[in-house]
């Protein structure tokens, strides 16, 4: 299934369905880990055969710690997705945006570098675009690296830097306004294009070194 620049009702529904599938995928891992570890903790507290559990045993402590990490990861990812999807997202300063992304990337091989002045205020549409572009930057780094964010309220620049860095499939087509195949793991290019088209922003990809991707550029027309 594909979606193009016209965003008909059917295409918009397809994009929404694919985004929901992607969200479930992103949350499923840490949520499942938390649930599994809570079950392990419960088994330690109330053994299957009855009797007294071990409320201070090492297995229980480890299970609760892992469950806590899973819950924290779910909360961080939900916050980013909520803001990216426009859930009551008002203007946001660069420091708050950086905090959202940094929390999402805890315990991953990707780090985030926000070169915007901390007090830069981004309008709601720019917040959404910056977050989706940053998530694309993360996807461009399967072996880890740094996602750089620069610019300001009228121009957003995102550059992934790391070994094997490569923009996800479909991004070039989406930036050019071409049809993009919808699939949960590769839905972000279509989402970015839809957001930019709806708000009147322009998309582009700059030239980079021969072995590295160029920056993703999102600009407000003069």
pTM above 0.85, yes or no: yes
Tokens standing for residue 134: 């940053």
pLDDT in tens, 31-64: 888 888 888 888 877 665 555 556 667 888 888 8
Q: Which domains does the chain have, with CATH numbers?
A: 2-219 (3.30.565.10)
Q: Which residues contact 120 (CB under 8 A, 6 or more apart)?
A: 93, 94, 152, 153
pLDDT in tens, 95-149: 999 999 999 999 899 999 999 999 999 999 999 999 999 999 999 999 999 999 9
pLDDT in tens, 14-25: 999 999 999 998
The overall average pLDDT reported for the chain is: 88
CB atoms within 10 A of CB 60: 19
pLDDT at 6 over 60: no
């Amino acid at each position: 299934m594909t979606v193009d620049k016209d965003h008909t009702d059917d295409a918009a529904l397809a994009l929404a369905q694919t985004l929901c599938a992607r969200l479930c995928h992103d949350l499923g891992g840490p949520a499942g880990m938390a649930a599994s570890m809570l079950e392990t903790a419960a088994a330690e507290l109330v053994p299957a055969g009855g009797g007294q559990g071990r409320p201070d045993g090492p297995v229980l402590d480890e299970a609760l710690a892992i469950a806590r990490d899973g819950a924290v990861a779910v909360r961080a990812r939900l916050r980013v997705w909520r803001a990216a999807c426009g859930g009551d997202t008002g203007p946001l300063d660069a420091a708050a945006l950086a905090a959202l992304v940094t929390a999402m990337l805890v315990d991953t091989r990707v780090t985030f570098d926000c070169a915007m002045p901390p007090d830069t205020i981004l309008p709601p549409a720019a917040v959404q675009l910056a977050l989706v572009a940053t998530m694309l930057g993360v996807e461009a780094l399967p072996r880890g690296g740094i996602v750089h964010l620069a610019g300001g309220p009228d121009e957003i620049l995102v550059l992934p830097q790391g070994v094997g860095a490569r923009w996800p499939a479909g991004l070039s087509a989406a930036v050019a306004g071409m049809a993009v195949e919808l699939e949960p793991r590769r839905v972000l290019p279509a989402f970015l294009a839809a957001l930019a088209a709806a708000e009147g922003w322009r998309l582009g990809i700059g030239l980079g070194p021969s072995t590295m991707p160029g920056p993703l550029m999102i600009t407000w027309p003069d």
